[in-house]
A and B are shown apart, each in its own frame.
Chain A
Amino acid sequence: METFEVFRRSGHKEPFEHCGTVSAPDAEMALLEAKECFTRRREGQHLWVVKRSDIHSFKDESLLEIAADKSYRFAEAYRDVVTKRSQARSRGRALPEKARSST
């Protein structure tokens, strides 16, 4: 017997999500089992099973932590855009008329 990890997807717009494991001799049997174990209440329109032994992970998952400041990868880093916008607009308004309108 092998352990299979089970993934299901509720619709076309969603990604597959892990929902549990089943014990089965092969993938064919694992699918049959997973169907009733994990989608019998219509939780999924799509189903995958993957042998656990085919899944790999880092030995040390603390590698996945972001150690130093990476705030620039997030929208919050640009929160001051509102203040900057009003500063830049007043600067724009202060320009001589001929430089402002092109229409």
Chain B
Amino acid sequence: MSDSLAALLTALADDELIIGHRHSEWTGFAPHIEEDVAFSSIAQDEIGHAAAYYTRLSQLGHASDADRLALGKDTVDYRNAIICERPNGDWSYTLARHWLYDAADSVRLEALESSADHELAALATKMRREERYHLLHADTWMKRVAAGPVEGRTLLITSLGSAFAESAGLFEPIVEEEAAIEAGWLPAPSHELRARFLARTAESLEDWGLPAEVHAGLDRSAEFVASSSGDLIAGRDRPGKDSPVASHGALGGRRGHHSEDFKSLWDDMTSTYRSNPGAAW
């Protein structure tokens, strides 16, 4: 069992689980009824991807089953990026994050299709098919809001600023990244994936007539420092109106450092699982 492969799978799975969990909170409340149905499928897809990664992890002898890997661990054992755990805020933040997350995931899956772990490579190929739809969904909404009435456009720009700042967390190196690259599990280093992500998203912003400055927050928050408590604190956050971004920085998720938002999410998400250890549901 390779620790670096496990670390990679854990980061991937936890990202998918937590973003899927947040997306699913819109169920029954999305601002347009047809969209409620559509967005629920995206949430289900992400949770399904998480299940597939956890299953791969359990095949590697890491733990007994996928549910335990998803729900039976402590907060510090989650390796998801902090952006995934942020509350949904309003639809503009959800949309901005959805777009950035799926753009990042596409870049990541493209690379993973040539992973030395053939199971993981096969999963990536399968998931990319769903990701194409996710990205098309996000792009379609982004285009429309960007070209729409000024209030929505302004909200979107503000939300993009804070979501971009925190998207750095999606490309924070995983623990044992060097070993994962060496072994070929991760075919390209995180900083390289991030460069591809930035190039692609910059292109879309230009196409849609959205200001390139929304990128600015990203560069700043990427310069993180260790605080006296040992937490990694981003250089600066740019919380906007209605933005759920709190005082905690964008980075640290890959090392098990999470925001206050995650604590309550975890309490809720694992409560039934924890209530009856070992029970079947």
In the complex, are there CB atoms of A and B closer than 8 Å?
yes
| A70 contacts B by Cβ under 8 Å | yes
CB neighbours of B48 from chain A (8 A): 68-70
In Å, the complex CA distance between A69 and B52 comes to 9
CB neighbours of A67 from chain B (8 A): 126-127, 129-130
A44-103 interface with B by 8 A CB criterion: 62-63, 65, 67-70
CB neighbours of B130 from chain A (8 A): 67-68
B210-230 Cβ-contact flags toward A at 8 Å (1 or 0): 000000000000000000000
B223-281 interface with A by 8 A CB criterion: none
Majority SS at the chain B contact face? helix
| B60 contacts A by Cβ under 8 Å | no
In Å, the complex CA distance between A70 and B133 comes to 16
Cross-interface CB contact of B52 among A62, A63, A65, A68, cutoff 8 Å: A68
CB neighbours of B129 from chain A (8 A): 62, 65, 67
Assess whether B45 is in contact with A63, with CB atoms less than 8 Å apart: no
In Å, the complex CA distance between A44 and B207 comes to 48
| B73 contacts A by Cβ under 8 Å | no
Most buried by B among A63, A65, A67, A69: A67
Cross-interface CB contact of B127 among A62, A63, A68, A70, cutoff 8 Å: A68
A9-55 interface with B by 8 A CB criterion: none
CB neighbours of A68 from chain B (8 A): 45, 48-49, 52, 126-127, 130
Distance in angstroms from B117 CB to nearest chain A CB is 18
Q: Other than A63-B133, A67-B129, A69-B48, give 12 A-B pairs with Cβ distance below 8 A.
A: A63-B132, A63-B136, A65-B129, A67-B127, A68-B45, A68-B48, A68-B49, A68-B52, A68-B126, A68-B127, A69-B52, A70-B48
15 sampled A-B residue pairs with Cβ under 8 A = A62-B129, A63-B133, A63-B136, A67-B126, A67-B127, A67-B129, A67-B130, A68-B45, A68-B48, A68-B52, A68-B126, A68-B127, A68-B130, A69-B52, A70-B44
Nearest 8 A/B pairs, CB to CB = A67-B129, A67-B130, A68-B48, A63-B133, A67-B126, A68-B130, A68-B126, A69-B48
